[in-house]
Structure 1
Amino acid sequence: MRIRALSVSELNKYIKKILSSDPILNNITLKGEISNLKVHSSGHLYFSLKDDQSKINCVMFKESSQSIKFDLTNGMKVITKGYVSIFERNGQYQMYIMEMEPDGIGALYLAFEQLKAKLEKEGLFDLVRKKKIPAFPKKIAVITSPTGAAIRDIISVLKRRNDAVDILIYPVLVQGENASFQIAQGIEKVNSDFKNVNLIIIGRGGGSIEELWPFNEEVVARSIAHSKIPIISAVGHETDYTISDFVADLRAPTPSAGAELAVPRTLDIRNSLGLFYNKMNTSLTYYIKEKRNEVERVNEIKLLSFVQDKINRESQTLDLLQKDLSHHTRVKVEAYKTRLIGSMAKLEGINPLATILRGYAIVFDTDRKKTIDSIQQASEGDHINIMLTDGVLSCKVTEKEKEDPLFEYFQKYNAKIK
């Protein structure tokens, strides 16, 4: 019996079937050193795992790579879990990786150290960028789980120390896959929607590194750094440190300690005010006593001499002011006198009586209402009045005689000028 020839595709499918049915190759744990790492735009990872003698090509699809908390680099030694299969198109067998962790060090610890180094290099831990915690906050926002022991401890301590403080509870998840995004969103929401909040406390009670991990996520760290409101990080126990502790404006070892750092005790405030009052009262009493002694030590004769000297100096100043005032007054009077004389001269020039004083007369009609300056305004037999310097003559026109043409010309010329 002759065996049928297989196509290349059939052969690759057959090999893939054999590999898939092998229990070891279908669920294998492999360790090696990463090389030729390539991150595709799709999110898939392509690299090789090698040891001193061999290497194998590997693929880690986006669905699996998203679970990696640390950054991959060439030369990193890792332990992987997955299965071996063949890529039918080019007949190349490779390992499809589902899980990965560093070899010799925990994955979360490595991720923690990598993110810590990255943020520290960016300056997010610098003291100069940290905001001052208000001494007397009026309203505090607490971002934590509404059901945990941490929220009860925080509220109890805040109310015990200062019951005048207003507390805003912003409930979020504090562990699990979506916890970090809820915490970051809570910080942003309090900043944007609650303008009267003076301080934020974020935190939770103790737990494993996995349970505390949301406070090690980069999204939470950057929300803390961008917050305009000061933030106290109160996560876990005293020995627990998270990324949020380094970025926050103040780190508290426990949630209860965070509440204590947030507000002063009312009793402490009263005691401080009492001390300030006593100190101020003592200082003021001493000051008044010293000034009273100085007054009593002043010689009466010297005091009178000082007062008299002060009076003399002020009197001299008053004399100088009076002299200046008199001078300015005379100057003003002379100026007004000169202006008045000039105005009188102008009025004298247009005074009709001045014309009479120069030997002229003013002729009025019978009723003395209109002046007569032409023979055309009077007829023979009319009564006219002539005003002189010392009285009025009542006359009768008996004859009119017209002047020569030259006089008439001057009359017309004068009329044009007027």
Structure 2
Amino acid sequence: MNIFTEQTILTVSRLTGLVKDLLEDNFCQVWVEGELSNLAQPSSGHLYFTLKDSGAMLRCVMFRSSVKVLRFKLNEGMALIVRGRLSVYDQRGEYQLLVEYAEPKGLGALQAAFIQMKERLAGEGLFAAEHKRPLPAIPQRVTVVTSATGAAIHDILNVLGRRHAGVELLLYPVRVQGVEAADEIAAALDDLNRLQAADVIIVGRGGGSLEDLWAFNEEAVARSIFRSVIPVISAVGHETDWTISDFVADLRAPTPSAAAELVTVARKELRESVAALEHRLYQSTRAWLQLRQRYLEGLQRALHDPLQLLGYQAQRLDDLSTRLASGLRNLLTRRREQLARSEQRLGSLHPALQISRFRQQVQNLSEQIQYRTLQQLDYCGRTLGEETARLNALSPLQTMARGFAVVERCKDGMIVRSTAEIEVGSQIRLRLHQGTARCLVEEL
């Protein structure tokens, strides 16, 4: 029997819609903590991730409008506390949390964003000491980038009026709190650099919460300070407040009043410095005058007896004349010796002497050639005789002279070395020492 009536049977879409309404009505504002995982950010700009603990997982979505106001970067494994409302994604029938706000567990969102920004900019070298510009010793024009109605500008005016009334002070009014404050501060710094409207720039404001001071932690302000060619002093909040601008600036002042102290010289200190310089100038001038006076006194003593001075000069002239004459004599002597040596060398190179030496060399070479030729001919004659004797000893004619004969076949002229090469009736020729004889073989 079917226990469900037609009225209680629901479609999937209807049931999912009821569940969605139930969740959204009863969980419209919930806080959830967990570990972030499966983080994804497609080109749409939305964030998709999962919050999990040891017993369960929850799918989460943060739409682009909420991502834009997120102060820090989400990372895998981060412990988060999020605020949002529960809903159901109809197409998959899954419930999910629509996250509107998030912050790291145990650490506020702004503090986390501050740490992340500081680490990233430090890694890029924006805080490096080699990029810090020195402040001018006595700046003539100081420009303050701050609120026109804040306490900072009044504190700076008080200090400048008390310490050094001659400095020119300019105010570039900007908002120092709120969404648009960072862009205004960055634009002001860029304008001042473009116009070269200051010797030193003070950028800052009075104290407040981390959120109040946040404009000075924005990346736009940090990069504008970094590219400034005019030295920048960051004076934000109180002594215990630190912002990103403090790390990037050429100098950090704990308060706006302290910044004014750093860029000005007190009237008393200036008078003391001028007095010290005046004393040093007096001492230097006095020492120079005394030195010139002693020099003039020396000249006066030298001119006291002109005849004596002329006598000294005449004596010096005689000495120089003697040295000159001696030097000329020595020079002439050396030149004569060099000339004699040159004549001797030229005499040995006279053409007649050269020809005579060459003739003697030719005669010597001719005699040597004749002697060596006769020696060579005698040697060749002896060698020829010896070789002839050896050849005669081996000659067949010498053998035949001793009674031997060479036997040849008449039909082909071949020399007969064995009886096997002839037969009875063969005609042979006997070559004797003197003459030949033709024979007929009758017996073998």
TM over 0.5: yes
| Distance in structure 2 (CA, Å) of the matches to 1:156 and 1:212 | 23
Match of 1:246 in 2: 247
| Distance in structure 1 (CA, Å) of the matches to 2:190 and 2:146 | 14
Match of 2:103 in 1: 101
SS, match of residue 211 in structure 1: coil
- Is 2:145 aligned against 1:140? no
Match of 2:213 in 1: 212
More moved, 236-245 vs 287-296? 287-296
The one of 287, 306, 309 equivalent to 1:304 is 309
Match of 1:65 in 2: 67
Q: How many residues align?
A: 313
Shift of 1:90: 1.7
Match of 1:20 in 2: 24
| Distance in structure 2 (CA, Å) of the matches to 1:312 and 1:116 | 83
Match of 1:236 in 2: 237
Shift of 1:305: 6.7
1:248-296 deviation line (CA, Å, top 9, x unaligned): 1111111011111112224322321220121232133234334544665
SS, match of residue 190 in structure 1: helix
Shift of 1:8: 2.5
- The change in CA–CA distance for 1:49 and 1:281 in structure 2 (over 3 A counts) is same
- The change in CA–CA distance for 1:54 and 1:136 in structure 2 (over 3 A counts) is same
Match of 1:167 in 2: 169
- The change in CA–CA distance for 1:307 and 1:142 in structure 2 (over 3 A counts) is farther
- Is 2:6 aligned against 1:2? yes
SS, match of residue 157 in structure 1: helix
Shift of 1:235: 0.9
| Distance in structure 2 (CA, Å) of the matches to 1:52 and 1:306 | 116
Shift of 1:181: 1.5
| Distance in structure 2 (CA, Å) of the matches to 1:162 and 1:42 | 57
1:140-177 deviation line (CA, Å, top 9, x unaligned): 21111111111111122223322222222111111122
| Distance in structure 1 (CA, Å) of the matches to 2:229 and 2:315 | 60
Contact 2:143 2:197 in 1 (8 A): no
- The change in CA–CA distance for 1:296 and 1:82 in structure 2 (over 3 A counts) is same
Match of 1:191 in 2: 193
- The change in CA–CA distance for 1:171 and 1:129 in structure 2 (over 3 A counts) is same
Contact 2:141 2:200 in 1 (8 A): yes
Q: Aligned runs of 1:271-310 on 2, under 5 Å?
A: 271-290=272-291, 292-293=293-294, 296=297, 300=302, 304=309, 308=313
CA RMSD, Structure 1 to Structure 2 (Å)? 2.8
| Distance in structure 2 (CA, Å) of the matches to 1:135 and 1:212 | 30
1:77-128 deviation line (CA, Å, top 9, x unaligned): 0101111110112211111111111101222222111111111111111111
Which of structures 1 and 2 has the bigger CA Rg? 2
Letter of the 1:277 partner, please give it. Answer: E
Match of 1:382 in 2: none
Shift of 1:71: 1.3
More moved, 70-79 vs 268-277? 268-277
Gaps of 5+ in 1: 317-418
Q: Aligned runs of 1:43-122 on 2, under 5 Å?
A: 43-122=45-124
